[in-house]
Amino acid sequence: MTDPVLLQATADLFPNGIARYAVGGLFVGLGAAVIYLGTGISAGASTFLESTLSYVSGRARFQRYVRSRDWRLVFTLGIILGAGVYAVAFQGGAWLTDVQPWRLLVGGVFVGIGTRVGKGCTSGHGVCGVGSASKTSIAGVITFILVAILTAQLVAALGVSP
């Protein structure tokens, strides 16, 4: 453990350490586990987009989520509030991104299309699906991570930052 080469390699791969990531990940899993244990529901974050659209659009594609739209709204509200608790307790106030709005907007459109066509996002496929050892989810996760790496590297190579 005190091998300097190994320590340097770890510092290169994890310049901010691993504690915040591992602890945060455990909480994410715990949140999903609490809901699953009580209700049997594998919670995912992206269905909220379509279930909430059912309030304003009569399209069949959204109306199929009418019965779950209220608790999905509560789940999302909980996510916002939980992150707010972190902001108050650890962050000392609001934090703002420097990533350019056009990247967020255009990227968001692709995220909205892709997560719904692909049957899940980082929480549904990544946390609940992988936790279920679902081959579909593992295929989905590998696909979106590889394409995301290619996209981010390409955008960085084109000189867009941040």
Site for another protein in 15-44 (CB under 8 A): 15-18, 20-43
Residue 14 binds to another protein (criterion: CB under 8 A)? yes
Q: Which is nearer to another protein, 5 or 81 (CB)?
A: 81
Binding mask 92-131 for another protein (x = CB under 8 A): -xxxxxxx-xxxxxxxxxxxxxxxxxxxxxxxxxxxxxxx
Smallest distance from another protein to CB 69, Å: 10
Q: What is the dihedral sign for C-alpha 58, 60, 64, 69?
A: negative
Residue 9 binds to another protein (criterion: CB under 8 A)? no
Which of 1, 5, 81, 158 lies at the binding interface for another protein (CB under 8 A)? Answer: 81
Burial of residue 129 (number of CB atoms within 10 Å: 0-12, 13-18, 19+): buried
Q: What are the angstrom distances between the C-alpha of 85 and each of 18, 49, 94, 115? A: 21, 23, 11, 27
Residue 8 binds to another protein (criterion: CB under 8 A)? no
Residue 60 binds to another protein (criterion: CB under 8 A)? yes
Tokens of 46: 């992206």
Tokens of 35: 């809901």
Which of 2, 8, 50, 158 lies at the binding interface for another protein (CB under 8 A)? Answer: 50
**Spatial distance between the Cα atoms of 87 and 58, rounded to a whole number of angstroms:** 37
Residue 11 binds to another protein (criterion: CB under 8 A)? no
**Spatial distance between the Cα atoms of 61 and 50, rounded to a whole number of angstroms:** 8
Residue 151 binds to another protein (criterion: CB under 8 A)? yes
